[in-house]
Each structure stands twice: as structure tokens, then as C-alpha cells.
Structure 1
């Protein structure tokens, strides 16, 4: 069902497919995290933090937990000292990567130089 089919019928945006999608990837960091995981396959927490830069440890942790709860990110913990935790995309998240690539293409075409 496309956006046009909801025109005038939407009482609550969260109840639409678009609203659902935004609930999964909305916010400042989730698409960045998904993009980096798509580029790197498997990434450790500190490497994600280093690549993103401006994000706090607390925010990165909460965003990863939300993405994991939504079935977008896999968390694998290795029982060793110091603890090692790796993150990767789920199959569900992989299906979203073409959409993120289209957003990047749009940005490349429309970014002011």
C-alpha cells in the first residue's frame, strides 16, 4: 500500500507502513549505524563508536539495543576477558540496505558543493 492510499485516512502515522519504518530507522544515529554495519559486515562496539565519532557511548548502546529489539541488528558476545561483542545486520536489515543506498544516491545528486 503506497502513501497515496493513506491520504486522508491516517489517524495515527505510527499505524502506517511509513510510520513503522520511521520507528525502526528514525532518529539521528540508527541509519548511520545500519550503514556502517552494511559496509563492514561485523563491527565491534568501540570500532562503531570510533567510526561514528560524535555519538556518546550511552547513546550508541541504547541505539544498538533498540535496533536489536527491532530485529535489525545481531549481537554476538564472546566469553573472554576482556569481553568481546560484535554487531552485524540481520537478514531483515539487509533488505533495507538498497533503500539506504538510494538515500545516498539522492544525497550525491542533490548535495550542494
Structure 2
């Protein structure tokens, strides 16, 4: 896509959505030190338990992971399922809204393969 094609597509979206830019709310939703990494881990393997996520995201702290997961849940990108069994088991997975980011992560991976050695 060229710069001109991008501008044309984005201006069409902005004009049809009441003039509000859809990019900034998405950036605000996804910003944070660990959110994109958590989503990427869940793109690769879902569901995942807290410990599995923590292991894949070294050196994240329990507090940082908990806070990021809560924010992703609030934004309906991740769902938390707690099973009533002993020992307690909790799993996290992408919601449908979160799964809609799969093509975005694929595009990022393609860009990375092209430009990051």
C-alpha cells in the first residue's frame, strides 16, 4: 500500500465514522509495556495459564502481568476462565474481539521478517 492509498482509505473511514479517528483509541487500548506481548503469546497458544504467560514474558512481575490482564479483560480482548477445582485453575484466552487482531499480528510479523534481521 502506498502512502496515498493509505491516506485515501483512512480519510474514507474518518469521514464515514463521524470524523473521529479510529487509530488513537486503539493505540490507547494497546499501549502499555506488556499488553502487546501478552496478546501475541495468546495468539500463538490459547488458552494459557498465568504461569505459562509469565514464563513466556520474562522478566514480567506477577503484579504487572495481573494488571495488564485485567486491563485486557476490561477492554474485552482477553477472557479469564476460573475452574472450580482443586488446585484452582485459571486460563486466559483471546475473545472474538481479541482474535480479530490476528491479522494485525500477522502483518507485524511480516514487517518484522522484512526489516528486522
Bin the TM-score by the shorter chain: 0.7 to 0.9
| Gaps in structure 1 of 5+ consecutive residues | 7-14
Cross-structure match for 2:5 = none
| Gaps in structure 2 of 5+ consecutive residues | 1-8, 15-19
Q: Take 1:83 and 1:3, find their aligned partners in 2: how far apart are those partners?
A: 49
| 3-state DSSP of counterpart to 1:2 | helix
Name the Cα RMSD after superposition: 1.8
Cross-structure match for 1:58 = 63
TM-score (norm 1): 0.83
Q: Which moved more, 1:48-57 or 1:19-28?
A: 19-28
| 3-state DSSP of counterpart to 2:59 | coil
TM-score (norm 2): 0.80
Larger radius of gyration: 2
Please list the CA deviations of residues 54-75 of structure 1 after superposition, one character each: whole Å capped at 9, or x if unmatched.
1111000000000000000010
Pairs within 5 Å for 1:64-75: 64-75=69-80
